[in-house]
Amino acid sequence: MRATFVLGRIVGVRVGVHWSVLLIFGIIAFGLSQGRLPETYPGRGWAVYWAAGLCTAVIFFASLLAHELAHAVVARRNGVEVDDIVLWLLGGAARLRSEASSPGRELRIAGVGPLVSLLLGGLFALATWLLDLASVSGVVVEMAAWLAGINVLLAVFNALPAAPLDGGRLLRAFLWWRTGDRLRATAGATAAGRVFGWLLVVLGLVAFMRTGTFGGLWLALIGWFLITAATAEGRQAQLRGVLAGVPVRDAMTPGPLTVPAATTVADFLTGARYRYRHLAFPVTEDGATLGLLTTDNARKVPQAEANAVTVRDVMVPLSQTTVVEPDSPLADLLPRMEPGAEHRVLVMDHGRLAGIVSLSDVSRTVTWLMDNAGRRGGP
Ligand SMILES: [Zn+2]
C-alpha cells in the first residue's frame, strides 16, 4: 500500500495518505453527524452536526498520526530508519527500513504506539469531564467523549498479541528475549496473528449473518487483512532463516559490465556491448560509480535526442540506489528488494564496485539453499 499523496514532513518523517482514508473519514463524519450526535443531543441545526462530525474526524486522524509518529520517532532513536508513515483504510502504518537489533528496542518501538493512544484516550476523557463541568454545549462534550472512547479502543486493539499488530511485535520481543531466537519468535507471533485473524473473520461473518449490519463485514475485512499480513511476515521470516549466514558476496553477480557516464543514449542502445545482456548497468566515470542505468530509462529518451543525451542524464543517481557492502547479510536486503531493473542493489567494497544483486539472484540463492539443505558447510 503506497501513499496516493504526500501531506509533508512532520518531525522529519514523510507522511502520506492513501485514497482509502477518504472512505473511513466519510464513514466517521457521516456516522457522527447523522447518527450519534443528533440522537444524543437533538434540536440543533444540521450545520452544527456536520461541523462537529467533520471536526471530530479530523482530530481522530490527528490521533492516529500521533500514534504512528511515536513509533517512527522511537524507532529512529533506537537505530532503525523510517521510510515513511502512510494513513489508509485500516489505520496507519509506519514503514521501518530494518528490524530492531534487540528485544528491548523492539519492545520500546512497538509499545510506544498503544501507549500514546491510551494517553490520548485519557486526555480526551479528562476533557470530556471538564467540558461537562463547564456546561459547554452537549455536542462538544459528545465529541470529546467519542474521541476518548476511540483512542482507548485503538490502544486496546493494537495491543492484542497478534502480528502484525503492535501487540504481536510485543509478543515477538518477549519470545525473542525468552528464547534468544528471533526467527522462532517471529514464527510464534505470526502464527498468533493468523489465528486471531481467522477468529475475526468467523466472528464478523456470524455477526453479519445475524444482524445484517456493515460492522460485521468490517470486522471480517480487518481479520482478512491480518491473516494476509501475518502470512507475508511469516514467509519473510522463513526466508531469513534459509538465508541466515549468507553474505551478499555469495549471491551477487561479481564484476558487472559498466557503462561510462559520457556514453550517449544512442550509443548505449545500439552498442553490441550492451545489447541483449542485462536490464540494468552501473554507470562509472574514472573508476568511480555514479549510479544505475536501466535499459527502460534509456528507451524513454525520444529518438531525436538520443545522440545528445548521455547516460549520466537518465541514470538513477547513486544516492537513490540501494548500496551494500559485500559482507553484509543477504537476509537484511529482503525487505528492501523489489522486482524491476531499477531496484538492483549495487555492492560496493570500500568505494569500489564489486557486484550487483537482483531479486532473481536472491531467489536463485534461496532455491539452491533449499535444494541442498543439509549439505551446507561442505567443500
Ligand atoms: Zn501502532
Distance (Å, whole) CA 208 – CA 174: 36
Q: What residue spans of the chain are helical by DSSP H?
A: 21-31, 37-40, 46-77, 103-133, 138-158, 166-179, 182-211, 214-243, 248-251, 265-270, 295-299, 311-314, 359-371
Q: What is the pTM of this model?
A: 0.73
Q: What are 150's three cell numbers? A: 476511540
Nearest of 149, 156, 159, 92 to residue 121 by alpha carbon: 149
Select the CATH number that applies to the domain covering 248-371 from these four: 3.90.1720.10, 3.10.580.10, 2.30.30.140, 3.40.50.2300.
3.10.580.10
CB count, 10 Å around CB of 374?
6
Does 68 qualify as catalytic in the annotation? yes
pLDDT at residue number 378: 45
Omega within 30 of 0 (cis) for the link into 326: no
Report the separation in Å between the CA atom of 65 and the middle of ligand 1, taken as the mean of its atom positions: 10
Distance (Å, whole) CA 166 – CA 115: 11
Report the separation in Å between the CA atom of 208 and the middle of ligand 1, taken as the mean of its atom positions: 27
Report the separation in Å between the CA atom of 109 and the middle of ligand 1, taken as the mean of its atom positions: 9
Which residue among the candidates 39, 68, 305, 325 is catalytic per the annotation? 68
pLDDT at residue number 70: 93
| pLDDT tens for each residue of the chain, 379 residues long | 667 788 888 888 888 888 888 888 888 898 888 888 888 888 788 888 999 999 999 999 999 999 999 999 999 999 888 888 888 777 778 877 777 889 999 999 999 999 999 999 999 999 999 998 987 778 899 999 999 999 999 999 999 998 888 999 999 999 999 999 888 898 899 999 999 999 999 999 999 999 887 778 888 988 998 899 899 888 888 888 888 889 999 999 998 889 999 999 999 988 888 877 788 899 999 889 999 998 888 889 998 888 999 999 999 998 888 889 999 888 878 777 777 777 789 999 988 899 999 888 888 888 888 888 766 554 4
pLDDT at residue number 145: 94
Q: What residue spans of 19-102 are helical by DSSP H?
A: 21-31, 37-40, 46-77
pLDDT at residue number 1: 62
pLDDT at residue number 76: 92
Report the separation in Å between the CA atom of 242 and the middle of ligand 1, taken as the mean of its atom positions: 29
Report the separation in Å between the CA atom of 222 and the middle of ligand 1, taken as the mean of its atom positions: 15
Report the separation in Å between the CA atom of 184 and the middle of ligand 1, taken as the mean of its atom positions: 22
- Domain residue spans in the chain? 5-159, 248-371
Distance (Å, whole) CA 151 – CA 275: 58
pLDDT at residue number 374: 62
Residues with CB in 5 Å of ion ligand 1: 113, 158, 166
Distance (Å, whole) CA 191 – CA 230: 7
